[in-house]
Amino acid sequence: MNPGFPAAFARGRRTIWRWAFLLALFAGAPFARAATLDVPATANIFGAGHSMTPFTGGPDEGVLPPSYDFGFAAGSGLDLTFSSVTGTVILDVGSGDNSNDPDGIGAGSSDTSVNSLGGISGIVAPNAGFLVGVFENDTEPADPAPLRLNFISIGTNFSDLSPTLNQVFFIGDGLTGDGSGAVQRFHVPIGATRLFLGIADAPGYHGDPGGYSDNSGQFSATFAIVPEPSAIALALIGISMVSLRLLIRRR
């Protein structure tokens, strides 16, 4: 064996680890750290991206939903995941006082069907008062809105979901079950720069958005933008190829 090989191999191994570390930093640079948004029950998801709620700004229209700015325009291979969604809300204060969790369990309705408005899609889903989200770019939403997602047919126990820009999607507690199960992955659409969280409400839980004046309580959601598993696999393959090439050159 070449007497200089052990030392060369050690130098090569150190070089590989330096490359792997730099590649990992580069790959992870755009990904958001964990962030938390408090979402009041009056947060009207249909105000996302607008300067005011899409009506007159009166109490029945609620308030603008909280948002998180990525700081970059999303490309492919990014997922939104939730590590914690807590809290309860009431959508019928004074008439039913039904308290529900982030999945809408405990609400005063067995289903919700809200129409699209202001360039943002409506939503159909079981129960009511559940946490929803919508991805947007830096352009104010305008009609026509995307198609409504129907989570009565899709189900709320999906493992992953691919909403489009301006398409409201069910989040709940971010788990496949109510308070349990696997973490769900929401594929971030290309071009998205912002995430909004809120409530999809309507008088009687059906029809045009509204009915926020008798809502109370809030959710607290902690989330992160992370690479898709397939993107991680590709990054590992790339690191392996670089490592192999460096080993061959060193040898």
The per-residue pLDDT for range 126-181, each reduced to its tens digit, is 999 999 999 999 999 999 999 999 999 999 999 999 999 999 999 999 999 999 99
Task: Band the pLDDT of 53: cuts 50, 70, 90.
Answer: confident
Per the prediction, the chain carries an average pLDDT of 85
Give mean pLDDT, residues 197-205.
97
- Give 80-107 pLDDT, tens digit per residue: 999 999 999 999 999 999 999 999 999 9
Q: Is the pTM of this model over 0.75?
A: yes
Helix (H) or strand (E) segment spanning residue 35: strand 35-40
Q: What percent of the chain has pLDDT over 70?
A: 77
Query: Which positions ≥6 away from 7 have C-beta within 8 Å?
Result: none
Cα separation, 71 vs 89, in Å, equals 30
Instruction: Give the model's pLDDT for residue 229.
Output: 78
CB 93 within 8 A of CB 62: no
The phi and psi torsions of 130 (rounded to 5 degrees) equal -75, 160
Answer yes or no: are the C-beta atoms of 102 and 172 closer than 8 Å. yes
The DSSP 8-state label assigned to residue 144 in this structure reads S
pLDDT of residue 84: 97
* Pairing status of strand 216-227 against strand 78-90: antiparallel
Range with top average pLDDT, 2-11, 53-62, 74-83, 228-237: 74-83
Q: 115 — phi, psi (to 5°)?
A: -75, 160
DSSP 50-87: SSS-SS---GGG-BPPPEEE-SS---SSEEEEEEEEEE
Task: Check pLDDT > 90 for residue 8.
Answer: no
Angle between helices 229-250 and 5-28 (to 10 degrees): 160
